[in-house]
Structures are given as C-alpha cells and as structure tokens.
C-alpha cells in the first residue's frame, strides 16, 4: 500500500514549480490531489493530465489566492465532491523584490494577501472538516531567517509571519493529532528563482552545497511530513536550502 493511499490532498499553486512537483509526488504516493492555479490554465491541465496518465488522481482548479471567496469556494467544492481534506499544502506564493523607496501600499496588500492571508483562508476552510491525523504544510522560505540580500523586505516579512501561524495552529490542532509545519526552501530552480539568473551565482556562493535545489527535493520533504512517518513533527519550521542559512 502506498504511503498516502486514500488521502485527499489540496495544494495551492500546482501549475508550475514546486507546487507542480509536490502535486505529482503526493499523487505518486497514492493521494487524490486537487491543486489550484491562477493564470496558467494550460500548464495546470498538463500537470493534472501527467498525473492521471501515470495512474494517479488529480484535478486542476482555477482559484486565485488573492481572492478569499474563490479559494474558499474551491476548497468547499473539493470537500463536497471528495470528502474532507487530509493534507493541505499552502504553496502558492509571489515574490516582490525592489528597493524600499519604490515600495507601495499595493505591493504590501498583494504579497500579504497571497503569501499570508490565503494560508489563513485555506486553513479556515479546510481544518473544521479535517479528520484526526490530518496535515497542514505551508511553504515559507529560508529568507524568513536570513534576508540574504537587499530588496527582500516585503517577501521576508510575509514568509516570517508563517512561523507564528504554524506554531499557533499546531497548538490548536494537536489534540486531534493534526500536525502543522512550515517548510522553508532556499534557492529552488523554478520560474520564481531560475538557477541561471543574475542573482544565482551570488546565492550559490552562500550555500554549503553550492547548487540549487529542485522541486522534487522539496516535494520529498512534504510527502514525508504528510505521511505517517512525519506524525511526531509539528509546530516547527524545517529549512531545506542547501545550507544557505548554515
């Protein structure tokens, strides 16, 4: 029997990058995966098709995380069709990097809505229905603990908020055996942070392992936390960054 057989997983932002890798991995481990996307319909459908053709179960749903009603509706529809969600992966996120003097209130509203508020919104919709031993896993960033370069103020602030959310919710849900954890990746080769960008060599110079990680590296950790093997890990942040924060 596969590790996540008979589990329902909901992943935000599964059309590309880490979210796509996480969706594929959870499905390969036996979970029925519903994942959201905001703009990349064709890519989302391709990810779902790849999972389904390989014998897994996946559905892509358009739901912009900036819109609490759309995200809540997607979760409610999933629960109505498939039953309670066992594994919530809050992955969708954006990066806004620029000099502080160029920042606007709109930048703040946008990044906090997607990187922080949507994590809260999704959890509010999922948790009341979650059965015992469920999993809430959020993708933060190693930058919550190490703002490695300038122009990262807003992003670092948004990702740092997730540690408090994780600790608090772990206390709220521990009695049901539900674990709540934060995965903090470092540089992972995706559209958000390509390994051939102008910044990449600087980042590599700061890592113990000197190379970018892959979505699969993060997906393996998420699958472990989602499985029974991760049952005693809760309320904590696990950094997976090639030693950048070492």
Catalytic residue set: 155
| Cβ nearer to ligand NDP, comparing 64 with 86 | 64
CB of 194 to ligand NDP, least distance (A): 9
Q: How far apart are CA 46 and CA 117, in angstroms?
A: 28
Which of positions 10-29 make contact with ligand NDP (CB under 6 A)? Answer: 12-19
Question: CB under 8 Å to 179, separation ≥6 — which residues?
Answer: 134, 135, 136, 170, 173, 225, 230, 231, 233, 234, 235
CB of 205 to ligand NDP, least distance (A): 16
Which of positions 88-147 make contact with ligand NDP (CB under 6 A)? Answer: 91-94, 114, 139, 141
Is the C-alpha dihedral spanning 174, 87, 191, 240 positive or negative? Answer: positive
Question: CB under 8 Å to 207, separation ≥6 — which residues?
Answer: 186, 187, 241, 242, 243, 244
CB of 20 to ligand NDP, least distance (A): 7
- Binds ligand NDP by CB under 6 A, chosen from 23, 59, 65, 179: 65
Residues that bind ligand NDP (CB under 6 A): 12-19, 36-40, 43, 64-66, 91-94, 114, 139, 141, 185, 187-188, 190-193
């Amino acid at each position: 029997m596969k590790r996540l057989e008979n589990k329902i997983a909901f992943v935000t932002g599964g059309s590309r990058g880490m979210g796509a890798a996480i969706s594929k991995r959870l499905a390969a481990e036996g979970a029925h995966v519903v994942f959201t996307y905001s703009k990349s319909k064709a890519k989302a459908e391709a990810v779902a098709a790849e999972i389904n053709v390989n014998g897994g179960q996946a559905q892509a749903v358009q739901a912009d995380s900036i819109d609490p009603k759309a995200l809540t509706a997607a979760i409610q529809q999933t629960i109505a069709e498939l039953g309670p969600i066992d594994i919530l992966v809050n992955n969708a996120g954006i990066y806004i990097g620029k000099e502080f003097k160029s920042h606007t209130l709109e930048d703040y509203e946008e990044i906090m809505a997607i990187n922080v508020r949507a994590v809260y919104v999704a959890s509010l919709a999922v948790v009341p229905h979650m059965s015992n031993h469920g999993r809430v896993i959020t993708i933060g960033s190693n930058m919550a603990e190490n703002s490695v370069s300038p122009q990262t103020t807003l992003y670092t602030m948004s990702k740092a908020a997730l540690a408090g959310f994780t600790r608090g919710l772990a206390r709220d849900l521990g009695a049901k055996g539900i674990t709540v954890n934060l995965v903090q990746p470092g540089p992972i080769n995706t559209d958000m942070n390509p390994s051939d960008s102008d910044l990449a060599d600087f980042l590599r110079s700061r890592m113990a392992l000197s190379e970018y990680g892959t979505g699969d590296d993060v997906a393996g950790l998420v699958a472990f936390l989602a499985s029974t093997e991760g049952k005693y890990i809760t309320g904590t942040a696990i950094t997976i960054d090639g030693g950048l924060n070492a």
